[in-house]
Structure 1
Amino acid sequence: MAAVGALSAPLAHAGANEKCYGVSLAGKNDCKAGAGTSCAGSSTVDYQGNAFSMVPKGTCTSIELPAMSDGTPRAGSLEELGRDLPG
């Protein structure tokens, strides 16, 4: 799978989807998650750990993401992450 954007679905279909943190590109998140986000499209950092996108249920942790600059692997999470935060 690729980074979210193509995977994101309208929130109206949330029953078949789940929040996945740290997978969206800057400006492509679905809604507020934490500091630095206010609603859809407000993330300012690629793969921002406190911004979520809705993805098909069961796919969040298997979305392929690029490694961080130090080589640490990235993975989506069902809970907020403390990585790739703005500022």
Structure 2
Amino acid sequence: MKPTRIAIASALAAALVLPAAAQAQGNMEKCYGVAKAGKNDCQTASSSCAGTSKKDAQADAWISVPKGTCDKLIGGKLSAG
């Protein structure tokens, strides 16, 4: 295998593993009010499970983001409502 292919494969593997590692270490937080319709990460008061929010920026729908990111997003809140 050529060195460039090894480098590309390594970078791709790292990109796939880092988000899971960050979440496992507790470096993630729930960010409410920024999820697109149908793109929420978990159940809400009006949606039964992940991926079922009814509208964009639904106040009780959340997505998991790296800590410190939610405050930088327009409409992002660390608590529901």
What's the offset of the Cα at 1:78? 0.5
Give the structure with higher Rg (CA): 2
Residue in 2 aligned with 1:29?
A: 40
Checking the alignment, whether the CA contact within 8 Å between 1:49 and 1:80 is kept in structure 2 is yes
Give the partner amino acid of 2:76: G
RMSD: 1.9
1:56 aligns with 2:56: no
Residue in 2 that maps onto 1:41 = 51
- Separation (CA, whole Å) in 2 of partners of 1:49 and 1:32: 12
Q: How many residues align?
A: 61
TM value normalised by structure 2: 0.66
Are the counterparts in 2 of residues 61 and 77 from structure 1 also a CA contact under 8 Å? Answer: yes
**Amino acid across the alignment from 2:37:** A
Deviation at 1:17, TM superposition (A): 0.6
The percentage of counterpart residues that share the same residue type is: 51
Gaps of 5+ in 1: 1-8, 65-74, 82-87
Q: Which runs of 4+ in 1 moved over 3 A?
A: none
Structure 2 unmatched runs, 5+: 1-18
